[in-house]
Structure 1
Amino acid sequence: MDSGDIERFERDGHLAVRGAVAPDTAAACRDAIWAALAEQGVTRDRATWARPVVRVACPEGGPFEAAGTAPALHAAYDALIGPGRWTPRAGVGGSVPVRFPSEEFPGDVGWHIEGSYEVGGEYWANVRSRARGLLALFLFSDVGEDDAPTRLVVGSHLAIPRILRPAGEAGMSGDEPVTRVRPSLLCRTVVHATGRAGDVFLCHPFIVHTATWPHRGTTPRMMAQPAVHVADGFAIDGSDPSPVARAIVAGFGADL
């Protein structure tokens, strides 16, 4: 990762680490996800693909340990968050919403930022991004434009800090900031999290994003979406040198 990558991350709010996870590791992860789906009656037999999305907890151990500890990702976490600041994990974590070819509305589509900590059964975020350093999108299957890719609003992370700041340490629900942004924000350029199995998108914790539908591809889309944990969040007084923190501070003055 070079200075240009970091500059683009601060400006756009996301960075793709291509080939972060080896192809054979990604294939083994898919096999484990299929095993988890089988517990819900969903198999490789298309006749069992009755729902547009089925969520499973990301399996632990084995290939997921290899995926979550990939050297390229650890180097990227160091570059974007800072060495020693993020919490190492022997795996990937999070959930895997498996999206199946379907025209049916999946029911979980809507612009939002990720919450980081639980308040009253909802996930909230605050301006220091307590508990979340990054949103990681692990592609365990090939994802093309027809495969219901996650949609990211370029630069939207810069609009969120001014909305979260008045809420202080308490923060607010991850869905609420998007209701307060200018409608024109959602007309900005978008990118889709597409690529080959093993690619990982690293996103600023405040990036506005959504699931998409319909899935008009031919195979299930398998993608984990864990947080990269940072216990204390980031300083927002300009003293924090990390690219994540610099983008938060830049957002205070952004006219979005």
Structure 2
Amino acid sequence: MKIPGAFSKETAEVCRERLWRETGKDPENPRTWTEPVVRIPPINDPPFLESCNTPILHRAYDQLYGVGRWIDPDWPGTFPVRFPHPGEPMDTAWHFDAGWHVDESWFEALEDGGDLGKVDPHGFRVSIQSRGRALLILLLYSEVGPQDAPTRIRVGSHLDVPPMIAPYGEEGCGLLRDDVIDEATAHRPEVLATGEPGDVYIVHPFVVHAAQANRVGRPKFMAQASVEPRELVRTDRPDGAYSPVERAVRMGLGL
């Protein structure tokens, strides 16, 4: 779901200026844009927290995941800044973001800018309960048009994922291979997450999506944040009070 103007353009501008400084690049000198993507660690300063915690977003989280079932976002995730560049960014595979890392030090290293190389990269797991993520939110801090490396989204792919991971139960499984995810969802139509500064896309945690190279566009500033679950996804509520996220999982399982 796209929410235009979910946070103000003024907040987006403040965040974008901070991210420019973090990149170490000169906004006025494209010769300094020497990498296809610069990934900035989480920043939880007030403008960034405001961008993912506005009243309209909280109402949407309630409607999509359930009142009282999610936790207020306390960081907006990482910031992939994509510059127009002929090189390959090496992070454009189809995937979904519904996992958790069994080694909590991964999150500590991420937040502190520590050495992620010391943490097992294969420690991520995914489960039908979507333990690590209630919702994925894509926050646009710059204008993003079709040429500005918008996130690619396979519409309906969240129905293909549950049958793939349900057999592994609550313990879940390791991250599925990119080629397996790609093949299972290749029949789905693709849309682009374009928009204005302050627009937000709220995405089911099982939706398959991918980044892409920015070849000729403008530098793209965004965050890929998560709304974490206070209560895990359930497919067997006795009262039938399923959230839209849960109903989609049930649909994918044929329930």
Q: Same fold (TM over 0.5)?
A: yes
Q: What are the equivalent positions in structure 2 for 1:1-256 lying under 5 Å apart?
A: 15-38=1-24, 42-44=25-27, 45-90=29-74, 92-119=75-102, 120-122=120-122, 123-176=124-177, 179-180=179-180, 183=183, 185-217=185-217, 219-238=218-237, 239-253=240-254
Residue 164 of structure 1, CA deviation: 0.6
Cα-to-partner distance string for 1:113-167 (whole Å, 9 max, x where unaligned): 1142114434321001113111100000000000111100010000111111001
Q: Percent identity over the alignment?
A: 38
* CA–CA distance in structure 1, aligned partners of residues 161 and 62 of structure 2: 24
RMSD of aligned alpha carbons? 1.9
Is this contact kept in 2: 1:159–1:251, CA < 8 A?
Answer: yes
* CA–CA distance in structure 1, aligned partners of residues 87 and 68 of structure 2: 44
Question: Structure 1's 203 and 103: CA in aligned 2 closer, same or farther, altered over 3 A?
Answer: same
* CA–CA distance in structure 1, aligned partners of residues 216 and 174 of structure 2: 32
Residue 67 of structure 1, CA deviation: 1.1
Is this contact kept in 1: 2:128–2:170, CA < 8 A?
Answer: yes
Residue 233 of structure 1, CA deviation: 1.6
Is this contact kept in 1: 2:185–2:208, CA < 8 A?
Answer: no
Residue 57 of structure 1, CA deviation: 1.6
Pairs aligned (count): 234
* CA–CA distance in structure 2, aligned partners of residues 229 and 57 of structure 1: 18
Is this contact kept in 2: 1:131–1:231, CA < 8 A?
Answer: no
Cα-to-partner distance string for 1:143-192 (whole Å, 9 max, x where unaligned): 0000111100010000111111001112123343x544583631321000
Matched position secondary structure for 1:169: helix
Gaps of 5+ in 1: 1-14
Question: Structure 1's 237 and 182: CA in aligned 2 closer, same or farther, altered over 3 A?
Answer: farther
Gaps of 5+ in 2: 103-119
Is this contact kept in 1: 2:101–2:125, CA < 8 A?
Answer: yes
State which drifts further: 231-240 or 126-135.
231-240
* CA–CA distance in structure 2, aligned partners of residues 240 and 121 of structure 1: 37
